[in-house]
Structure 1
Amino acid sequence: MKARACTRREYSAIFLVLAVAVLILVLCNMAVLEFHHKVNSTIIVPKVSTDPDMNQSFCTFQPLSPEDALEERLLLDSIAWPETPPLPAPVSLEQTSDPAHSTFTVLPRRGGGQWHVGDQLEVMIKMSDFHGHPKKHGGDFLLARLHNLKLGAGVAGQVLDHLNGSYSAVFSLPWEGDAQVEVMLVHPSDAILVLNRLNREHPDRILFKSLFRSGSLSETTDCNVCLRPTQQLLCNYTDVRTGQPWFCYKPKNLSCDARISHARGQNGRFIKANEEKLFRSGVNLKVYIRASGPARFTVLPKKKGQLEVKSSSVTSGPSGYYYQGAWRALDGTTVQQFNTSSAITECLKGKKVHLYGDSTVRQWFEFLNKNLPDLKEFHPQGRTKFGPFMAIDNANSIMVTFNFHGPPLVSFIRVPPTTFYYIANEIDRLTGGTDTIVGVGIWAHFPSFPIELYIRRLQSIRRAVVRLLTRAPGTVVIIRTGHPRALTFDLSLIFSDWYSLQRYKVLRAMFKGMNVHLIDAWSMVLAHHLPHNIHPLPPIIKNMINILLSHVCPQNST
């Protein structure tokens, strides 16, 4: 019995040693795998699906925390577009919304009488098809503006869909004098169905290419956020810190580390037969709707005791208006006019201005560089349109920088991957403080990709902003929204204002309640008399800079 007990103890000891050895081996292998994941996580074996209708199933996103997942769900719900009847087959233009047969009417003032500053104006819009028959459902994308060209005045309207073919446009009346209403059909509801389908089924319809080179050997492969599964291996360029995804098909004979450039390829054409007719300039693409009665009226001075016009909401409604060409905020901010280089210099003296995002933020860098003669520009990696840019005024201790955001980057120009900067990572590198201004604008390259990608990019930026404001509460943070742009048939399928509107709403909601300042480019472009452009013209940029500087140097501190 003693010998048997001893044998059992010996076996137990042996099993214990073996178990410990196996555990150590597993932990070591995990550590090695983790090390390789951090250092060289570049090759992925894709899962090949035989499902012909995969939609977004080939898009790979890292799992979210429960809090971020809930926020994403709420944001998606908040931008959901009204459901409309499916497209007929074949598509019939005659049954779609026709701006030439549609009308708007300025409704009488509630309570009667004349209009006064501080009142709200309501316009009723009724949509009809090409036969003149009233539409029975909503879903059209409309924009509305109130303006006076002589006064240099303008304000954006808020459009409400009644889901029965009629819409309301509501305007604040912030100035005294004449005002004229304009209503524009951007897309009929049937075009929205096409745009929604394209982003759902073809989030890879913008093609990207990367060149790989080693010595005399070079290869080019396709890259994207979403790559359709094939037998070909993938190079994984997902950013380790932010989790932002980017992939390329692996070259056959080169390493993933041999990538030397990024560029846009030709767009894929996924539109179906007869759907082109839903995106015709001058017919149903950004076309003005006629008034059924007077569209011009006079606004009288504010009545005694009448409340001031205020911004209707943090997440909806215009944030300001133009008067005499100058933007006036409705959130209580006093927008000063920095009309001379000396005024701008005085405000920015001893300051570091760090700008991040796309070319619409690069416009701010270019404005400051042009209007501050003592700024000297440097090009750390050579002069390219993507930067990074730096300009320094030594005498006044002013530094202005600009970094383009990380992919997706929609440009036919070849760009070295070393110029990709994820905004969250760059913000995390800042010390911050009362001498630091951070400007962020990221939207123009994201319309054709799943909205989830944009939400996750903003979440990573917001977390970095929170960290920055925690360690340096005096830092001034400015967030720029997207805006409407000129559209053609081809541009609509990739960069439609409808896509931009969704991202505009998401961005406003994402930064609501934070100690940041919003430059509402959507309202500023929509309210101005200048034509829509991906790069707003100089008068609009000047007003944006005035808002930025007014937050840097508030009136009570100058």
Structure 2
Amino acid sequence: MKDPGLSSKEWDRIQRVLHWGGPDRQVSAVEKSTSPEHSTFVINNFNGTYYVGNELLATIVAKDFTGVPKHYGGDFFQAKVFSNELKANVFGEVMDHQNGTYTARFILPWEGTMSVAVRLIHSSEAVLVLKKHRNTDSDRVYFHGYFVGKTTQGTHVVQRVECNIKWDGVVLSTQRNCCCEYHDIRTGLTWQCHKPSILPCDALLDHSIGGTRDRSTAFENLLLNSKYMNRWIKGDEHLIRVLASKATIGVRESCRPGLPTPIPAGFYLNDVWTSFVCAAHHFTESATAQCLKDKSIYIMGDSTVRQWFEFLVKTIPTLKRMNLHSVYLVGPLMAVDVQNNINLHYRSHGLPRRCGRTPMASFHYMSNEIDDMVGGPNTVIVFSMGPHFINFPLTYYAYRVSLVRRAVVALLKRAPQTKVIIKTANTGYKNIYDSHWYGMQLDQILREAFHDVGVYILDVWQMTSCHYDKGQEDIHHAPVVIKNEIDILLSFMCPQ
């Protein structure tokens, strides 16, 4: 196995965290998989009255399409308590008892009337399909490389070939000398492309997404069909009445690095997120500009964190985007506010990246970028890593995370006042190429790798999971959610 870049002790711990139960035998009929129509839940020991801060438990019973209770675990359920009238939501922790039953645990954080909702994201049988294709089918998402040059006769030519990462379990070709390889000495990473028939390897100019390959069987496609997944299940319809309490919920200390993420990490009320991680507050337009004043903010990663760049540019009128003539989705992007001395930057985390045709020179590995930063009290680094890595072996993602961790540790050693903020994964798509079950597993690796490094972990998994405004289950969430994420980001940057 390729070295994941972590110590054996760390990797063993991560493997334990990632463990996911499932069927104890081969299931070949959809009728034997978990049914959202037949599965149900009941509130445990229902009371007529609860108080703010009380714990609420619900038991989920998974059943197949014939109504028979399941006797093994591994289903991917998500749960929340909510009130549509109050625009209030709180995430619930789901514990798998590995026998077909699950416990959903909630903290009741606001006064009023609310309900419980449980959703089956994937059956345990569908999770097995996701595992299988991640481990054996990494090239089901592939990329293109564009070689540009001239023939010996002087004719301009563009040759497009397939490209991908070079890693154990990712096979671009079984033939020897098939490929052009592009090795980055600092990271040890290699990108590879099929050799073009006419042009040399050094003629590679651009990169883009290539496409997808569906190697799923008919049975597997059924398990991942919308009829069988991402459905709300029927259950206890009791309204929960919660009265005010003198008790306080959570620890509201000043926002600082290294704080753990509780469950729940906070809650929405009137579409405003109250954090249980630390004493986050809500920023007006002028307060946002004041917080960012005299700072250089470097945002790196995928499009979900690019949304933060876009939000800040729209929020601060004096922050003007510069035209760097780059491909927008990838960057680099830059906005400046001369009045407040703000420099705001965005760029992608580097290859692999699903995008339109983009110059190869635009892709910088994130760890290299961090290595080249001076850092200091006026420097803020914000990054995310997730959606573009989900089809590859876990060891590849772990290695990429280890590179970034090494760079961050070195940066904080030479410039300890630098603020480093990690945005966790969004919930979103549910298909074989982009299921957020994949994203959740990568997110757990990221959190475990950075849990003792002294960075801020900004949890958006719970925020995006429980909010009602999910659109078409898009990984890119609504402005109301982004605003609440930005408020926590600014609270980390400006805790006073």
TM-score (norm 2): 0.92
Q: Is 1:388 the equivalent of 2:329?
A: no
- With over 3 angstroms needed to count, the CA separation of the structure-2 counterparts of 1:265 and 1:81, relative to structure 1, is same
CA contact (8 A) 1:314 1:508 kept: no
Q: Is 1:221 the equivalent of 2:193?
A: no
Aligned residue identity for 1:240: I
Q: Is 1:367 the equivalent of 2:311?
A: yes
The aligned counterpart of 1:527 is 466
Q: How far apart are the structure 2 equivalents of 1:184 and 1:196?
A: 21
Runs of 4+ that moved beyond 4 A: none
CA contact (8 A) 1:209 1:264 kept: yes
Deviation at 1:222, TM superposition (A): 1.3
The 5 Å alignment of 1:22-41 reads: none
3-state secondary structure, aligned to 2:485: helix
CA contact (8 A) 1:107 1:124 kept: yes
The aligned counterpart of 1:15 is none
- With over 3 angstroms needed to count, the CA separation of the structure-2 counterparts of 1:450 and 1:521, relative to structure 1, is same
Match of 1:352 among 285, 288, 296: 296
The aligned counterpart of 1:299 is 242
Deviation at 1:86, TM superposition (A): 4.0
- Structure number with the higher strand fraction is 2
Deviation at 1:139, TM superposition (A): 0.9
The 5 Å alignment of 1:5-404 reads: 61=2, 63=3, 68-88=7-27, 91-108=28-45, 114-215=49-150, 216-225=156-165, 226=170, 227-281=172-226, 283-291=227-235, 293-302=236-245, 304=246, 306=247, 308-309=249-250, 314=260, 317-331=263-277, 333-340=278-285, 342-404=286-348
Q: How far apart are the structure 2 equivalents of 1:521 and 1:127?
A: 28
CA contact (8 A) 1:315 1:505 kept: no
CA contact (8 A) 1:117 1:301 kept: yes
Q: Deviations over 1:252-276 (max 9, x none)?
A: 3322211011111221121113221
Q: How far apart are the structure 2 equivalents of 1:533 and 1:295?
A: 30
The aligned counterpart of 1:5 is none
The aligned counterpart of 1:458 is 401
- With over 3 angstroms needed to count, the CA separation of the structure-2 counterparts of 1:234 and 1:86, relative to structure 1, is farther
Unaligned runs of 5+ in 2: 151-155, 253-258
Deviation at 1:406, TM superposition (A): 0.9
The aligned counterpart of 2:153 is none
Q: How far apart are the structure 2 equivalents of 1:180 and 1:221?
A: 53
Q: Deviations over 1:254-311 (max 9, x none)?
A: 2221101111122112111322111121x211000111x3342111222x5x463359
Q: How far apart are the structure 1 equivalents of 2:83 and 2:162?
A: 49
Deviation at 1:113, TM superposition (A): 7.2
Q: How far apart are the structure 2 equivalents of 1:450 and 1:194?
A: 15
Deviation at 1:138, TM superposition (A): 0.8
Q: How far apart are the structure 2 equivalents of 1:246 and 1:298?
A: 57
Q: Deviations over 1:319-343 (max 9, x none)?
A: 2211222211112x22211122x22
CA contact (8 A) 1:145 1:156 kept: yes
3-state secondary structure, aligned to 1:493: coil
**Paired residues, number:** 478
Match of 1:510 among 440, 446, 449: 449
Q: How far apart are the structure 1 equivalents of 2:448 and 2:184?
A: 25
CA contact (8 A) 2:249 2:276 kept: no
Deviation at 1:189, TM superposition (A): 0.9
Q: How far apart are the structure 2 equivalents of 1:510 and 1:231?
A: 36
Q: How far apart are the structure 2 equivalents of 1:295 and 1:240?
A: 60
Q: Deviations over 1:327-366 (max 9, x none)?
A: 11112x22211122x2211111111111000011110110
Unaligned runs of 5+ in 1: 1-56
The alignment's C-alpha RMSD in Å is 1.9
Match of 1:441 among 369, 384, 388: 384
Q: How far apart are the structure 1 equivalents of 2:49 and 2:250?
A: 17
Aligned residue identity for 1:543: N
CA contact (8 A) 2:52 2:109 kept: yes
CA contact (8 A) 1:210 1:221 kept: yes
The aligned counterpart of 2:479 is 538
3-state secondary structure, aligned to 2:387: coil
CA contact (8 A) 1:155 1:321 kept: yes
TM-score (norm 1): 0.82
Q: How far apart are the structure 1 equivalents of 2:462 and 2:328?
A: 30
Q: How far apart are the structure 2 equivalents of 1:321 and 1:164?
A: 30
- With over 3 angstroms needed to count, the CA separation of the structure-2 counterparts of 1:210 and 1:442, relative to structure 1, is same
The alignment-based identity, stated in percent, is: 37
| Structure label with greater radius of gyration | 1
The aligned counterpart of 2:255 is none
- With over 3 angstroms needed to count, the CA separation of the structure-2 counterparts of 1:401 and 1:149, relative to structure 1, is same
- With over 3 angstroms needed to count, the CA separation of the structure-2 counterparts of 1:74 and 1:192, relative to structure 1, is same
Q: How far apart are the structure 1 equivalents of 2:4 and 2:300?
A: 25
Q: How far apart are the structure 2 equivalents of 1:245 and 1:121?
A: 50
- Structure number with the higher helix fraction is 1
CA contact (8 A) 2:375 2:411 kept: yes
Deviation at 1:134, TM superposition (A): 0.9
Deviation at 1:232, TM superposition (A): 4.2
